[in-house]
Amino acid sequence: MKKLLPHPILTLILWIIWLLLNNTLAMGHIVLGGILAIIIPIMTSSFWPEKVCISHPKILIKYLFVVLWDILIANVIVAKLILSNKDKLQPKFLHIPLDIEDPVAISILANTISLTPGTVSCDLNADRTVLLVHGLHEENPQATIDEIKQRYEAPLKEIFESC
């Protein structure tokens, strides 16, 4: 089983993406997609030396909804900032010390930060302990950092690192 499905989550995602790409639920595509979804992870398994593990799917789903909602809010906030007086914006580079170590969790955190209010992740230092984030308008940087750590980093830590 382990040899046939080295990355079960990747298999599932590939299968769903194949069906969405073809926009159909015809039997032929379900079978073809299934075959591709099994073969591709086996052929690319050397790209994924470490196993990705998700220990709390419920928290992950909740996290996705939190992020979607925050993206909505982020858009409105950034739109307002863009239309406001550009000379009053106070951009800042925030150096955020990280608690998480798992590379997948860090990349998801960086992606989330880029999609949510007024922050874009810019750089990760070489030993993966500090994330550099650019804020468009930061009046209280420590509050922003605390919010990022509590709202996004804590659930990611639970999801990816407790197994």
Partner 1 sequence: MSENLEYLLALLIIIGSVFTLIGSIGLYKLPDFYMRLHGPTKASTLGVGAILIASVIYFTLKQDAISLHEVLITLFLFITAPIGAHLMAKAAIHIATDKVKRTEDYHGEK
Q: Is 61 in the site for partner 1 (CB under 8 A)?
A: no
Please check whether residue 98 is in contact with residue 113, taking contact to mean a CB–CB distance below 8 angstroms: no
Among 4, 69, 91, 162, binds partner 1 (CB under 8 A): 91
Residue 135, H or E segment: strand 130-135
Q: Is 56 in the site for partner 1 (CB under 8 A)?
A: no
Q: Is 115 in the site for partner 1 (CB under 8 A)?
A: yes
Rounded CA separation 120/110 (Å)? 8
Residue 40, H or E segment: helix 27-43
Site string for partner 1, 14-43 (x = CB under 8 A): ---x--xxxx--------------------
Q: Is 44 in the site for partner 1 (CB under 8 A)?
A: no
Please check whether residue 134 is in contact with residue 122, taking contact to mean a CB–CB distance below 8 angstroms: yes
Please check whether residue 91 is in contact with residue 136, taking contact to mean a CB–CB distance below 8 angstroms: yes
> Which residues contact partner 1 by CB under 8 A?
17, 20-23, 71-72, 74-75, 78-79, 81-83, 86, 89-97, 99, 110-111, 113-115, 118, 120-123, 132, 134, 136, 138, 141-142, 145
